[in-house]
């Protein structure tokens, strides 16, 4: 999701932390029911710090039955592919029963499987398949809201007497209009929707198909914990906590302060009891299993640290949004700045967050996911000349930073944005809502669509490009979202056996991270911070030093440093003939042991 608003409230949401998951070391069913692992100071409980996470968007990964939508049987047929990448954990986007208004982020039954993906037995086979290959699995936990088709909401919206009425937030209409709240995926921009049967308004921070659950109700929280235990008892290895920063609300509904404009996330997120609930969830659920958790959180470094400070016993990891939301024009919905992004300022954001997590807690590193465009287009250069080398440079970046790397399916082969021309080609509720809002205000739709070619979420959701056969080998039927036409050349089959391919570079970089403790646990320090073209840093552990030089520009650039490179050894580079030098070719990446 993005928290930018179409016009007056752009957001600079400082950060959304995704609380990640946890998984047990060996995978098999029930092994996760051992010790509490939320004391991340011992090697055993720190396994998630050393892991590389690969995110699979199941609806776009592999279809098995020709309906154009990915499914479990399809993913099962790709288990060995995932194994051969060398990753340790897989994050699956939501797989629960859902009417799919927001592609599974609107859950109608938390303990059942989305019928398009298969059955619970298919899910079990997929889970076991990963575990047999020593890959852990985390699930997306979407509990700030559910679907309006969930039985709880169906009952609650039928009568104020329903035992589920208080599972949601309501404003009785006899009290007049509810205090204004803004909704992310609502065309009218109004988070309160009138419900006739109860003569009250219900709250939805996302679309009106996604009513917010009332976390202030202990019964609701107990239901959620029960449901979490159901999945953990099945053997899953952890959770990514979706939009969790929103779950606690100030139910006095005070008027929004003026500063709300431009940063509404700060006023909606981190409600009064959020961290009490996280600690309760830890006590009631996480502490009983050897799992990992990651939060999608909002706020500044201090706020996000609350989720992951081990002493607080909440979650293990968190995502920050400040870096990923960088480089958009202010006060507009994800419109890229035509001047590009300022690398020096971007590096400072990483410095702030990385330094904070060096003192306590643990961070994450990602450049893409299902809410973002493809990293190659957004942060690299997808022109024919530079796509290969800049994609490898970004892979080097993600896998050499401090913090658990989250790597998005398809980035390993250098998939890039599809850049749709017409609004009809899009599927995403966020894009369609924002388009409708721009249209309603008489805004410049052409300009909006141009911007979306860079930033829209659907760019990152196109089907996996397996080979050059029909629909990239993803499906024999018409895919739910168009396949990028470059699949004929950019695909797994073409790269599988080419030692110089993006795919094999990704594998090598994973192995390098695993074999180089300084890249995982080492301190992190910027080199040549003011260099406008190069992102360079030093990782140090027990006297071992590894320097990483990344040229983010399409021209030769030089790192200014006093480091002695005369004895440096090149551990990996993205050109075929790398040498230990400060003069970098366009988009060159070098990992040097000093």
Q: Which among 379, 387, 276, 292 has a CA at the least distance from the CA of 336?
A: 379
The residues near 188 (Cβ < 8 Å, ≥ 6 apart) are: none
CB 92 within 8 A of CB 56: yes
Told to check if 242 binds ligand GLC by CB under 6 A, we report yes
Rounded to the nearest whole angstrom, what is the least distance from the CB of residue 486 to ligand GLC in the complex? Answer: 25
The residues near 234 (Cβ < 8 Å, ≥ 6 apart) are: 29, 124, 127
Which candidate in 88, 116, 208, 296 is catalytic?
296
Tell me which of 193, 237, 296, 412 binds ligand GLC, using CB under 6 A. 296
Nearest residue (beta carbon) to ligand GLC: 1
Burial 70-105 (b: 16+ CB within 10 A, else e): bbbbbbbebbebbeebbbbbbbbbbbbbbebbbbbb
Rounded to the nearest whole angstrom, what is the least distance from the CB of residue 585 to ligand GLC in the complex? Answer: 36
Rounded to the nearest whole angstrom, what is the least distance from the CB of residue 323 to ligand GLC in the complex? Answer: 16
Beta carbon nearer to ligand GLC, 240 or 402: 240
CA distances from 477 to 66, 77, 416, 522 (A): 4, 17, 22, 48
CA distances from 118 to 227, 238, 462, 546 (A): 20, 21, 20, 46
DSSP of 342-404? -HHHHHHHHHHHHHHHHHSS--EE-S--TTS--HHHHHS--STTTHHHHHHHHHHHHHHSSSE
Please give the DSSP secondary-structure letter assigned to residue 545: E
Longest dimension (CA), the chain: 78
CA distance 224 to 269: 20
Tell me which of 87, 89, 227, 243 binds ligand GLC, using CB under 6 A. 243
Tell me which of 46, 314, 332, 371 binds ligand GLC, using CB under 6 A. 371
Rounded to the nearest whole angstrom, what is the least distance from the CB of residue 583 to ligand GLC in the complex? Answer: 41
Q: Which helix (H) or strand (E) holds 75?
A: helix 72-76
Please give the DSSP secondary-structure letter assigned to residue 247: S
CB 152 within 8 A of CB 167: yes
Beta carbon nearer to ligand GLC, 369 or 551: 369
Rounded to the nearest whole angstrom, what is the least distance from the CB of residue 333 to ligand GLC in the complex? Answer: 14
If one counts every other C-beta atom within 10 angstroms of the C-beta of residue 254, the result is: 9
Rounded to the nearest whole angstrom, what is the least distance from the CB of residue 94 to ligand GLC in the complex? Answer: 9
Beta carbon nearer to ligand GLC, 145 or 347: 145
Q: Tell me how far the alpha carbon of residue 192 is from its chain's centroid.
A: 27
Contacts 24+ apart (CB under 8 A), 186-193: 186/433, 187/433, 187/436, 187/437, 187/440, 189/437
Phi/psi at 540 (nearest 5 deg)?
-130, 130
CB 579 within 8 A of CB 572: no
Q: Is position 242 annotated as part of the catalytic site?
A: yes
Beta carbon nearer to ligand GLC, 76 or 213: 213
Q: Which two tokens stand for residue 285?
A: 């659920």
Rounded to the nearest whole angstrom, what is the least distance from the CB of residue 370 to ligand GLC in the complex? Answer: 6
- Are β-strands 53-56 and 89-92 bridged in parallel, bridged antiparallel, or unpaired? parallel
Number of residues that bind ligand GLC (CB under 6 A): 10
CA distance 118 to 493: 26
Tell me which of 204, 370, 378, 585 binds ligand GLC, using CB under 6 A. 370
Beta carbon nearer to ligand GLC, 169 or 347: 169
Beta carbon nearer to ligand GLC, 168 or 206: 206
Rounded to the nearest whole angstrom, what is the least distance from the CB of residue 349 to ligand GLC in the complex? Answer: 20
Q: Which of residues 73-132 bind ligand GLC (CB under 6 A)?
A: 102, 105
CB 244 within 8 A of CB 295: yes
Beta carbon nearer to ligand GLC, 297 or 590: 297
Which candidate in 46, 193, 237, 242 is catalytic?
242
CB 116 within 8 A of CB 69: yes
Told to check if 206 binds ligand GLC by CB under 6 A, we report yes
CA distance 524 to 520: 10
Beta carbon nearer to ligand GLC, 296 or 528: 296
Beta carbon nearer to ligand GLC, 480 or 552: 480
Residue 35, CB half-sphere, CA atoms under 13 Å: how many?
Answer: 9
Beta carbon nearer to ligand GLC, 13 or 520: 13
Told to check if 264 binds ligand GLC by CB under 6 A, we report no
So which residues are the catalytic ones?
242, 296
Using CB under 6 A as the criterion, which residues of the chain lie in contact with ligand GLC when the complex forms?
A: 1, 102, 105, 142, 206, 242-243, 296, 370-371
């Amino acid at each position: 999701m993005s928290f930018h608003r179409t016009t007056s409230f752009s957001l600079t949401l400082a950060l959304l932390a995704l609380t990640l998951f946890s998984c047990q070391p060996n995978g098999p069913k029930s092994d996760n029911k051992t010790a509490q692992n939320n004391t991340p100071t011992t090697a055993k409980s720190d396994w998630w710090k050393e892991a590389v996470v690969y995110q699979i968007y199941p609806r776009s990964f592999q279809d098995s039955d020709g309906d154009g939508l990915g499914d479990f049987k399809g993913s099962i047929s790709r288990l060995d592919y995932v194994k051969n990448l060398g990753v340790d954990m897989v994050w699956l986007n939501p797989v629960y029963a859902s009417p799919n208004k927001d592609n599974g982020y609107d859950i109608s039954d938390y303990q059942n499987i989305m019928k398009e993906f298969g059955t619970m037995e298919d899910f079990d086979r997929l889970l076991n398949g990963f575990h047999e290959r020593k890959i852990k699995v985390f699930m997306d936990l979407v509990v700030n809201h559910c679907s309006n088709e969930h039985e709880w909401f169906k009952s609650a919206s039928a009568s104020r007497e329903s035992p589920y009425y208080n599972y949601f937030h309501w404003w009785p209409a006899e009290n007049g209009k509810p205090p204004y709240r803004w909704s992310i995926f609502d065309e009218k921009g109004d988070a309160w929707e009138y419900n006739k049967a109860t003569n009250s308004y219900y709250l939805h921070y996302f679309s009106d198909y996604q009513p917010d659950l009332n976390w202030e109700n202990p019964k609701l929280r107990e239901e959620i914990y029960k449901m979490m235990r159901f999945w953990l008892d099945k053997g899953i290895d952890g959770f990514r906590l979706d939009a969790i920063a929103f779950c606690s609300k100030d139910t006095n509904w005070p008027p929004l302060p003026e500063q709300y404009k431009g940063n509404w996330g700060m006023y909606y997120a981190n409600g009064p009891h959020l961290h009490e609930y996280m600690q309760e969830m830890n006590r009631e659920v996480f502490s009983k299993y050897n799992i990992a958790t990651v939060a999608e959180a909002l706020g500044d470094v201090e706020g996000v640290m609350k989720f992951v400070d081990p002493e607080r016993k909440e979650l293990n990891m968190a995502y920050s949004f400040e870096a990923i939301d960088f480089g958009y024009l202010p006060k507009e919905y994800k419109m890229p700045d035509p001047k590009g992004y300022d690398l020096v300022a971007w590096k400072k954001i990483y410095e702030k967050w990385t330094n904070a997590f060096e003192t306590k807690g643990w961070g994450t590193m990602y450049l893409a996911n299902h809410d973002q465009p493809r990293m190659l287009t957004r942060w690299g250069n997808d022109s024919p000349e530079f796509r290969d080398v800049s994609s490898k440079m970004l892979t080097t970046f993600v896998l050499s930073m401090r913090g658990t790397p989250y790597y998005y399916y398809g980035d390993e082969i250098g998939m890039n944005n599809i850049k749709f021309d017409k609004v009809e080609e899009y599927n995403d509720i966020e894009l369609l809502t924002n388009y409708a809002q721009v249209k309603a205000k008489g805004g410049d739709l052409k300009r909006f669509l141009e911007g979306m070619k860079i930033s829209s979420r659907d760019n990152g959701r196109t089907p996996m490009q397996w080979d050059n056969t029909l629909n990239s080998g993803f499906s024999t039927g018409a895919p739910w979202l168009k396949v990028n036409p470059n699949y004929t050349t950019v695909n797994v089959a073409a790269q599988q056996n080419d030692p110089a391919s993006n795919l094999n570079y990704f594998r090598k970089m994973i192995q390098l991270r695993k074999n180089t403790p300084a890249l995982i646990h080492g301190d992190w320090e910027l080199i040549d911070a003011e260099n406008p073209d190069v992102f360079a840093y030093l990782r140090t552990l027990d006297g071992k030093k590894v320097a990483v030089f990344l040229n983010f520009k399409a021209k030769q650039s030089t790192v200014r440093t006093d480091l002695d490179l005369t004895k440096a050894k090149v551990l990996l580079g993205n050109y075929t003939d790398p040498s230990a030098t400060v003069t970098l070719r366009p988009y060159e990446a070098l990992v040097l042991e000093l």
